[in-house]
Structure 1
């Protein structure tokens, strides 16, 4: 089997962290055995049509992942790729929910799984019958991942898609992430800000617009590249990041600008109701806290990391900071699975995602694909994908 394999040995990881050269950790192999199904019922083989490149994949390749979270990702060898549209051995086209929780590992349900939150399972680091030492497919070579010609998934992880176009179907996993994030906000007010109109941010905007048609949505992102995408996704406007955001929002919505001493960013009194930060840098978190109204909500959708942030406004304005990860059964959807809803939206031609897949590469071009995904707008890229099985036709 051909696949791009990650070798997370400590010397390779430390050298990659020092040099940021992904070729030290990743390599294309042609001699791998296909993953073996676990000795349990319900496991099937899937051959990927397309697999997306996520920010977390770039983080792994460049050794920038959170060291704290490494406790949950203990496999030395990984086949990345958890945004997957593929075909089963029976010929059914599916998208894959990559989460591997207690029910898949053969364990009695932990408290999180029993409470309906399998996406934060408390046994993510225990392989069980699967042999998978990671929270999901795409982070352990045992079951495989989307950057290989074959992977193993449980039938409960598969969502049939019929003839849904491949460039829309490959967005099912990030669209589910985005919808899950958007559902954290139980609408209180009329104004939202989404920071970071990359793939996840654009899908968050589309989800907010679908859930709340009358909502005023401001996207915040650098440069001119993202603005047309944000507008098509449903944003009312796109603003460049920085202190000017506060002034502009005050002018638009009639808020007051308050200026602390010796700080660059002023405060927006009568601010926005919710901010979804899809970047997760100290600067974006800080900006979010400065534009939220008292009792507002900040949803951290961006990648995890260690950030020096002044949290004084969380206390002073009684803000709520909500983390979000993965997806699954949604209380806000009556227990319906996020991916079920996402597939339904993606099947609607009016859902504005047609232009998000900007690049498709074959496995031999994985280095170029990673570089393009990491560059984002600098490479005119939104969602970059790999095509592991060129013999499988892409559905248009």
Structure 2
């Protein structure tokens, strides 16, 4: 099979590799779509923290936002999975530790992460081997594009749920990238009045095109009571700004990750009686995200600007935009596409 492999910071190859074999408890999936994520771009540049913490190393195959069809099953796996359209959880806990046994496998200290951590190869390939226990079946109304948007959607859904909006509450999302826009969509579906803050005219214009009328730059955010503020950016100063902007008694949610340490003043947190929540992983939100896509509560397809083949992944990871790409923030990959 063909696969995209990062060999060092800024270096990559599209290789012909042996096709995976389903081990005990595993399946092999024919990959149909893969989303390119900011995490993948950090692996490309070498900035990803896991590389420096010993959790990841080159050569590696990224790709954790994926959908496809089960082509083979290993020993002990229900043969009913054969031929089913699926996506998969990125976080693969050990299954035996205290956190896993309490349903928190996404924060297991010994976890593997597909395409990210623990030498678990990712989905930027024609085929992928994953544990059957990580699979989530996709209904007919969730096509391959939507299926590959379930993983980022699960993260965003959890952030929107952490904001805990009541109908009519005002929520502000910092950062109109893929996650920020998905958070905004889920907040809107929950009945909140959604505001977005961004840095570029193009990103704000795209958000307006999705039906979000309240979009602002950092300098133009109106002085309004925000019942919840979600930081979905990678700016180190915005966690503190989120705390400044939220209403006393409100909630701040941190899902974005900056490239350097960011700080908040816990005196402000306490004196405003604010609830602060951090969100890592889509795992607890995957099934609800699939349902939201299936029934049309949220439609993230406009976020996908282009779909490329494996041979075009390198320039995308370097920050390039494919020729003819639309205005959305997400690039998808179809590994079956011919060079």
Match of 1:186 in 2: 164
Match of 2:4 in 1: 4
Match of 1:149 in 2: 126
| Pairwise CA distance, 1:348 | 2.5
CA distance in 1, matches of 2:332, 2:119: 22
Going from structure 1 to structure 2, the CA distance change for 1:76 and 1:372 (only over 3 Å counts) comes to closer
CA distance in 2, matches of 1:117, 1:304: 24
Q: How does 1:264-343 map to 2 (within 5 A)?
A: 271-309=225-263, 311=265, 312-329=267-284, 338-343=285-290
Of 157, 170, 177, 1:198 maps to 177
Match of 1:93 in 2: 85
Match of 1:166 in 2: 144
1:347 and 2:325 matched: no
Secondary structure of 2:241 counterpart: helix
| Pairwise CA distance, 1:71 | 3.5
TM-score, normalization: structure 2?
0.85
Secondary structure of 1:289 counterpart: helix
| Pairwise CA distance, 1:201 | 0.7
CA distance in 1, matches of 2:147, 2:320: 19
> 2:113–2:120: 8 Å Cα contact kept in structure 1?
no
Match of 2:78 in 1: none
| Pairwise CA distance, 1:142 | 5.2
Q: How does 1:48-197 map to 2 (within 5 A)?
A: 48-66=31-49, 70-71=52-53, 73-89=55-71, 90-103=82-95, 109-124=96-111, 135-139=112-116, 143-163=120-140, 164-187=142-165, 190-197=169-176
Secondary structure of 2:251 counterpart: strand
Going from structure 1 to structure 2, the CA distance change for 1:310 and 1:173 (only over 3 Å counts) comes to closer
> 2:35–2:66: 8 Å Cα contact kept in structure 1?
yes
Q: Deviations over 1:294-328 (max 9, x none)?
A: 23322111125433435252344343332110033
Going from structure 1 to structure 2, the CA distance change for 1:380 and 1:220 (only over 3 Å counts) comes to same
Secondary structure of 2:67 counterpart: strand
1:389 and 2:336 matched: yes
Of 173, 196, 218, 1:219 maps to 196
CA distance in 1, matches of 2:239, 2:253: 10
Give the number of equivalent residue pairs: 323
TM-score, normalization: structure 1?
0.74
Structure 1 residue runs without a partner (length 5+)? 17-21, 104-108, 125-134, 254-270, 330-337, 392-396
Secondary structure of 2:201 counterpart: coil
| Pairwise CA distance, 1:388 | 0.8
Match of 1:333 in 2: none
| Pairwise CA distance, 1:64 | 1.6
Match of 1:394 in 2: none
> 2:29–2:127: 8 Å Cα contact kept in structure 1?
yes
| Pairwise CA distance, 1:236 | 4.3
| Pairwise CA distance, 1:43 | 0.7
Match of 1:28 in 2: 14
Secondary structure of 1:56 counterpart: helix
Secondary structure of 1:33 counterpart: coil
> 1:192–1:218: 8 Å Cα contact kept in structure 2?
yes
Task: Specify the structure having the higher radius of gyration (Cα).
Answer: 1
Structure 2 residue runs without a partner (length 5+)? 72-81
| Pairwise CA distance, 1:87 | 1.3
CA distance in 2, matches of 1:147, 1:198: 22
CA distance in 2, matches of 1:43, 1:356: 32
